[in-house]
Amino acid sequence: MTTLITGASSGIGEALAYACAARGETLFLCGRDKARLKAVAERCEDLLRRDKSVASPLTGTVTAEVVDVADAKAVAKWMRKANAVSPIDRVFANAGVSTGEETEANVRNTFAINVGGCVNTVLPAIEIFTARQGGYQAANLSTKPHIVITASIAGYGPLKACPSYSATKACVKTWGLSLRGALAPKGINVSVVCPGFVRSRITDKNTCPMPFFMEADTAAALILRRVDRNVGLIAFPWPMRFGSWWLSTLPFRVNELINRLLPKKA
C-alpha cells in the first residue's frame, strides 16, 4: 500500500503518518514546516525499522518533501513524481489551517489552503487514478484507489465563531461527498472525514470549550478503520455529529439565535 498525505507535519496528518508507517506502508508526506516534517519522517522510519525486526518484515519507505498545497503546480509535480516512484493507492487531502482573527489576509489564507489546497491535491489524484483505471476493477474495495478529504464537524453549518473555517470545510465536505458518487463508476473511492476537536496545533491555541476532545492517534486509528471499510462520511464523535446536524436542520432564525449563544473562538 502506498499512501500520500498532505499536512503531515502535525495533528491528524502526523498521526495518520505514524499509523500508516506501523502498517508498513510506503509513505509520501508533505508539509510546510521543514523541521517538523523531518521529525515526523524520522519517526515513521523508526516505526518501519522496528517492525522490520520481526518475523514478517515490513517493506514500506518514507519520503517527505516541503510543499505548499496552495501552489497547484508544485502539488501536481510532487504527486506525479511520487506516483512514478511507487504507484499511489490512497491520498489523504488533509492539509488545513484555522483562521484566527477574520482579517482579509487570514480569510484569504484559509480559503487558499483549506479549499484551494484540497482542490490542488484531489484533481491530480483523480488524474493519476483515472489513468490506470483498468487496474482497479476487482470486487475487493481495498484494491481500489481511495481519496480521503479532511473536512470538519464545523462544516455542517454556519458558525459565527469561525466563519471562514466553517465555510471552507462545508465546501470540501460537499465536494467530497459529491465526488464519491461521481467517481464510483470509475472505480475510485472517496471518503470525507469530519472530526470534532482533535489535538493539533490548531486546538493547542483554542481558548473556547472543546467538548469530546480526542487525541490525534485515537482519531487516526478511527479514520483508518473506516477508510478501510470505504465509509463515505466519517464524522465523529457522534454527539457532536448529531448536534451539528441538528443545528443545520433548524430554521435559520433559530440557528442564528443558538449561534449567538456559542462561545467566541479566539
- Domain residue limits, the chain: 2-261
The answer to which of 16-20, 135-139, 228-232 has the lowest mean pLDDT is 135-139
Task: Write the pLDDT tens digit of every residue in 147-205.
Answer: 999 999 989 887 787 899 999 999 999 999 999 999 999 999 999 999 988 776 665 56
Please tell me the distance from the alpha carbon of residue 78 to that of residue 128, in angstroms, as a whole number. Answer: 12
Judge contact between 20 and 225, C-beta under 8 A: no
Which pLDDT score is estimated for 141? Answer: 40
Q: Is the dihedral of CA 182, 185, 190, 192 positive or negative?
A: positive
**Whether the predicted pLDDT of 9 surpasses 70:** yes
pLDDT band at 139, cuts 50/70/90?
very low
Closest C-alpha among 247, 250, 223 to residue 235: 223
**In the structure, how many helices (H) and strands (E) does the chain have?**
9, 7
3-class SS at 93? strand
Mean pLDDT, the chain, integer: 87
Q: What is the CATH number of domain 2-261?
A: 3.40.50.720
pLDDT band at 264, cuts 50/70/90?
low
Decide the pairing of beta strands 90-93 and 2-5.
Answer: parallel
Q: What is the pTM of this model?
A: 0.85
Closest C-alpha among 208, 129, 122, 132 to residue 165: 208
**Whether the predicted pLDDT of 140 surpasses 50:** no
Q: What is the DSSP string of 117-185?
A: IHHHHHHHHHHHHHHTGGGG-SS-GGGS-EEEEE--GGGGS--TTSHHHHHHHHHHHHHHHHHHHHHGG
Amino acid at 228: D
**Which three three-digit cell numbers place residue 129?**
487514478
Task: Write the pLDDT tens digit of every residue in 29-61.
Answer: 999 999 999 999 999 999 988 755 454 445 789
